[in-house]
Chains A and B, each alone.
Chain A
Amino acid sequence: MTTRSILLIEDNPDDEALTLRAFKKNKIRNEIVVMRDGAEALAYLLPDSGGGVPLPAVVLLDLNLPKIGGLEVLRRVRADARTALIPVVVLTSSKLEEDILDSYRNGANAYVRKPVNFADFAEAIITLGVFWLLMNEPVPSLGPEGD
């Protein structure tokens, strides 16, 4: 596997624990960075200094987040050149049509509803991890130091 990280933006400690467990059980050893609300996530991805962070292979974004909601996080991530192209998967309990539409309208790359069943949940997480870490061709880095 590549060494790129996964950014998990999730406020529910149980979902966090079960997501981390699913990765670990399936030998995905990439770093999983966890942010527990929207403000924290934005401060991480878009530091005020204007610099960037090494971009994660994918952002797994919950919609229902404290402080700044998931959709707003998505909007701001898309509006900033540093993160505009980063893959974002919305991972949420909601299957409300408005939420799905709003997510795609604001530039989500995928929308996955968290299954209740533990095996289905684990499979969803693994599929996402494998796809975005292994199969997906990442965005070429555009900076002067890019190769």
Chain B
Amino acid sequence: MTPLASLPDRTFVALLEAAPDALVCIAGDGRVVLVNAQAERLFGYKREELIGQLVEILIPDAARAVHPEHRAGYVADPQHRPMGAGMPLAGRRRDASTFSAEVTLSAIDTGEGVLLTAAIRDVTAKLATKDLERSSQSLESFVYTVSHDLRAPLRALSGYSGALLEEYGGVLGEEGRGYAERIVAVSEQMGRLIDYLLQLSRISRAELNLQSVDLGGEAAQIAEELQRTEPRRHVCFAIEKPVQALADRRLIRTALQDLLNNAWKFTSGRDDALIEFGTAPSGDAAVCCYVRDNGVGFDPAYAGKLFQPFQRLHPARDFPGDGTGLASVRQIVERHGGQVWAEGAVGAGATFYFTLNGKESA
């Protein structure tokens, strides 16, 4: 007779079945007396196949031999505790496959003997997430180290080329000086690209500090700063404000800066330049904003390339830049659970839209 003979009333069984974890109850002799449906599912046995068996049937081969001893130790000193004391645990299914498990043990003294309950949870997915987190962290520190270490040789390239120019410029001749100048220029460019990689990896990992931000107010500030950098340019700004949105202030400001810099740059040929910031119908999103300019525009056939890093649609000599601004805009917007897209035509200006969802993307 099991010590449970009097127990399984309906409440008890209902409780057992409602538990989120797989539950396996065993008597002091190690034989299974009760399991719930989650346990049947997890291990692939029907309950009648398990009842009366030694619990070791659920333990992978490698750990099975030592288990009865551990079990006896627990019966002698039964305290509610996680099993395994930090060791990785595994369960064994009916088909002999195994899974990573977390097991919590508890003991009930039924008056007719001790009844042990093991709550078992499959943590394969949880461990995989942990691995992913760890590898993304090591990627971040890898990017950091690499970008840091790459700058040193670049400084040397630029520095020694500069020394050549300054000390041996006469010997080099015009062509030679031209080459040395190009080494200086490309070193600098590579320095910016490395900084950009660093920035991308930081945006993708940054913890968002969501707060209510007036996007229009931020845009107006950035517009003022742009105007100050080139006071002689005549650019008309039309900025809607306030435009409140939940966002990480620093990141969203960076995105607005990139968009407005872009508009500023690509209207540089016009003396009637107009740059607008406003809102559009947002659909499912919390807010939809746009930055519109009447600058040189772009060929819509290449619109998909706009947001890819290091892609440029205009020759560098006409419009300087690394092709990194819009890529980081996309990354920032996507971190906020939003989307970004562009409309435009050659010679007819460009409009960049982005939505925000007032929450961090998963």
Contacts and interface: CB of A to CB of B under 8 A. Distances in A.
Interface of A: 12, 14-15, 17-18, 21, 25, 64, 93-96, 114-119, 121-122
A80 to B, nearest CB: 29
Contacts of B112: none
B152 A25 contact: no
B151 A116 contact: yes
Contact of B158 (A12, A64, A96, A117): A117
Which secondary structure characterizes the binding site on chain B?
A: helix
A121 B187 CA distance: 13
Interface residues of B, number: 21
Interface string B85-104: 00000000000000000000
Contacts of A95: 195
Given A115-B155, A116-B188, 11 more contacts: A12-B152, A14-B152, A14-B159, A18-B156, A93-B151, A116-B155, A117-B158, A117-B184, A118-B158, A118-B160, A121-B158
Interface in B175-195: 184, 187-188, 190-191, 195
15 contacts: A14-B156, A15-B152, A15-B156, A18-B155, A18-B156, A93-B152, A95-B195, A96-B144, A115-B155, A116-B151, A116-B154, A116-B155, A116-B188, A116-B191, A117-B191
B156 A117 contact: no
B77 interface: no
A112 B191 CA distance: 16
A15 B190 CA distance: 18
B49 interface: no
A21 B159 CA distance: 10
B163 interface: yes
A116 B158 CA distance: 7
Nearest to B192: A116
B161 interface: yes
Interface in B120-171: 144, 148, 151-156, 158-163, 166
A15 B155 contact: yes
Interface in B299-329: none
B141 to A, nearest CB: 11
A99 B188 CA distance: 23
Contacts of A117: 158, 184, 187-188, 191
B167 to A, nearest CB: 9
B166 A25 contact: yes
A116 B166 contact: no
